[in-house]
Amino acid sequence: MTKKNPGMQPRTACPENCPGCLHPHMDAERHAAKKFEWLEKQLHPWKDRLEYIRFLPEALSWGYRDKVCLGAQWKSGRWNIGLRHGDNIIDIPDCPIHTPRIRNSLKTITNILPRGYDFPLVYYVQSGALVTLVLKTRALPDPCWLNSLESDRCLTKAGIEGLWLHLHPCAGKKVFAKHGWHLAWGRPYGITSSGRIYGPTTFRQVMAGLHYRAVRRAWDFLALSEDDLVFDLYSGIGETLALWTKHCATVFGVELSGEAVFCAKQNAPQAEIFRGSCTHRIPQLIDAAEKWKSSGKSGNILVYANPPRTGLEPETADWIVNGLNPAKIVCLSCNPKTLFYDLKRLEKGGLGVIRLIPYDFFPHTHHVEILALLG
């Protein structure tokens, strides 16, 4: 039997009623099998092209999550930070799914935070070394709790490099607002292990090893050449943009988040990046394709997309198949239900589904990613 990571606490130590895990007492192999059964039902028209789910060994399926968004509640003279269950927040300071950095940061922050009636904290968000405290207020609280050598030492020891206060008086189901950002301590941006810059709200895959495998599979399938044109849709902080630009002369990205666009321009300076929704940037993408064609390049038009849970925008999917007509498209989807409709739309436009490769990017949860290869 595969042993769990000795640095993680056993699942039996988790708080009662915690809703965070799916099939909490299953090992990684059985859990992956359950997910695959579900995928076969969701993507049944392409069952013959659906490959078995790629997952990590049991020992590596714990302590992997380095990005969290947790509720916060002051109760009985202490801070509870964790997952909501009814009207209460279940405190999870030692969650075995979280990385040691997340667990250390949670303990450090709760020890130095002001008392609840002085500090309207509603969300605790952490992305790598960056922590954001979302406050349900318009007024910036007194920062005296951070102005000490002891606080500075504790934050640094926990692995925190930047601490943001986000004032959001209407915080509820929506965690972030456009304005109200204040850097309270440290630096505004972090650096990934691969040297990419990221911000406090930018999307990053939490399972870097499996994500790398998926991207390499996409790379092999696209078979890029220097004459090709690549459109990278929902390009995030530019992880894949940076890869395409190494071997492809013409690369365009589209990303809605201004923070992500800023990071992508640092991470992939050779790519041209449009900010906005993919649908709203179709005119610019059409112009880019026309200029590429008129330059006399003899390569292929290729598309890589990493859409949100809502899937490809319908107008974007229709333009891809009816206007752009790429030779190949790769879609890394985090939602099998919306992927079903995306594949139907792309197939109707003439693209064929060649392979569907699932990856368990989020062990012990119900989430799963699928790499779809079409051509």
The residue ranges of every structural domain in the chain are 67-198, 208-374
How much is the mean pLDDT over the chain? 92
Q: Which helix (H) or strand (E) segment is 121 a member of?
A: strand 121-127
Tokens encoding 132: 């954001």
CATH 3.40.50.150 fits 208-374, yes or no: yes
Is the pLDDT at 7 greater than 60, yes or no? no
Rg, the chain, Cα only: 22
Q: What is the pTM of this model?
A: 0.92
Report how far residue 79's alpha carbon sits from residue 313's, in angstroms, rounded to the nearest whole number: 40
**Percentage of the residues of the chain whose pLDDT score is greater than 90:** 78
Tokens encoding 149: 């050598």
372 burial level (CB within 10 Å; 0-12, 13-18, 19+): buried
Is the pLDDT at 316 greater than 90, yes or no? yes
Whether the Cβ atoms of residue 84 and residue 136 lie closer than 8 Å to each other: no
Is the pLDDT at 1 greater than 60, yes or no? no
Is the pLDDT at 263 greater than 90, yes or no? yes
Per-residue pLDDT band for 5 (boundaries 50, 70, 90) equals: very low
Higher pLDDT, 117 or 34: 34
Q: CATH number of 67-198: 2.40.30.10, 2.60.120.10, 2.40.50.1070, 1.10.10.10?
A: 2.40.50.1070
pLDDT at 27: 84
Report how far residue 187's alpha carbon sits from residue 178's, in angstroms, rounded to the nearest whole number: 20
pLDDT at 14: 80
366 backbone dihedrals φ, ψ, rounded to 5°: -85, -5
**Percentage of the residues of the chain whose pLDDT score is greater than 70:** 96
- Mean pLDDT (whole number) for 42-57: 96
Q: Which of 74-88, 193-207, 256-270 has the highest mean pLDDT?
A: 256-270
Residues with Cβ within 8 Å of 362's Cβ and at least 6 positions away in sequence, in order, are 65, 206, 207, 368
Beta bridge partners of 229: 250, 301
Per-residue pLDDT band for 13 (boundaries 50, 70, 90) equals: low
Per residue in 270-295, pLDDT (tens digit) is: 999 999 999 999 999 999 999 999 99
- Mean pLDDT (whole number) for 16-31: 82
Is the pLDDT at 193 greater than 50, yes or no? yes
Angle between helices 258-267 and 239-247 (to 10 degrees): 30
